[in-house]
Amino acid sequence: MPMAEIKTISISDFRTHSGAVFTSIKLYYQRFGKKIGTAPVVLVNHSLTGDSKLTGKGGWWNQIIGPDKTIDTNLYTILGFNIPGNGVMDQTFPIPEDFHTGDIASLFLKGLKILNIKHLHALIGGSIGGGIAWEMSAIAPNLCRYLIPIAADWKANDWIIANTFLQKRILKNSKQPLEDARIHAMLTYRTPQSFDSRFKRTKNQELGVQNIESWLMYHGDKLAKRFHLKAYMLMNHLLASVNIEREGQLVKDIIRKIDAEIHLIAIDSDLFFTPIEDKKTFDLGKKIKKDIFYHELSSIHGHDAFLIENEKMAKILDKIF
CATH classification at residue 24: 3.40.50.1820
Q: What is the pLDDT of residue 3?
A: 60
- Domain match, 204 and 295 both: no
Residues 206 and 306 in one domain: no
**Portion of the chain with pLDDT greater than 70, in percent:** 99
Shared-domain flag, residues 108 and 222:
no
Both 169 and 126 in a single domain? Answer: no
pLDDT for position 2: 55
Domain boundary among 191, 219, 238: 238
pLDDT average, residue stretch 130-137: 98
pLDDT digit string, tens, across residues 67-86: 999 999 999 999 999 999 99
Q: What is the Cα 72 distance to its own chain's centre?
A: 20
Is there a single domain that holds both residue 146 and residue 165? Answer: no
For 208, the domain range is 159-238
User: Is 1 a domain residue?
Assistant: no
Let me know whether 209 and 258 are in one domain: no
| CA nearest to 288, candidates 266, 258, 315 | 258
- Name the phi and psi angles at 94, rounded to 5: -70, 165
Does 145 share its domain with 180? no
- 278 and 230 share a domain? no
The more confident residue out of 170 and 93 is 170
In a domain, 181, yes or no: yes
pLDDT at 207: 94
Same-domain check for residues 35 and 173: no
Query: Is the residue at 297 inside a domain?
Result: yes
d(CA 20, CA 16): 5
The answer, yes or no, to whether residue 44 has pLDDT greater than 70, is: yes
The answer as to whether 32 is a domain residue is yes
Sequence-distant (6+) residues with CB within 8 A of 169 are: none
Specify burial of residue 272 (Cβ count, 10 A radius: 0-12, 13-18, 19+).
Answer: buried
Does some domain include residue 98?
Answer: yes
pLDDT in tens, 174-228: 999 999 999 999 999 999 999 999 999 999 999 999 999 999 999 999 999 999 9
Over the stretch 3-40, which tens digit does the pLDDT of each residue have?
A: 689 999 999 999 999 999 999 999 999 999 999 999 99
80, β-bridge pairs:
30
Domain boundary among 182, 214, 238: 238
Model pLDDT, residue 251: 97
Q: How confident is the model at residue 92 (pLDDT cuts 50, 70, 90)?
A: confident
SS (H, E, C) 6-73: EEEEEEEEEECCCCCEEEEEEEEEEEEECCCCCCCEEEEECCCCCCCCCCCCCCCCCCCEECCCCEEC
Number of structural domains in the chain? 2
**Mean pLDDT, residues 56-74 taken together:** 96
Mean pLDDT score, 151-158: 98
- pTM across the whole model: 0.96
Q: Which CATH number is 224's domain given?
A: 1.10.1740.110
The string of pLDDT tens digits covering residues 261-298 is 999 999 999 999 999 999 999 999 999 999 999 999 99
**Residue 313 maps to a domain:** yes
* Same-domain pairing of 147 and 202: no
pLDDT digits (tens, 9 = 90+) for 225-261: 999 999 999 999 999 999 999 888 999 999 999 999 9
The answer to whether position 114 is within a domain reads yes
Tell me the C-alpha distance between 18 and 100, whole Å: 9
Same domain? 87 vs 146: yes
The reply to whether 218 falls in a domain is yes
Select from 223, 238, 253 the last residue of a domain. Answer: 238
Do the Cβ atoms of 29 and 89 come closer than 8 Å? Answer: no
Q: Are residues 214 and 313 located together in one domain of the fold? A: no
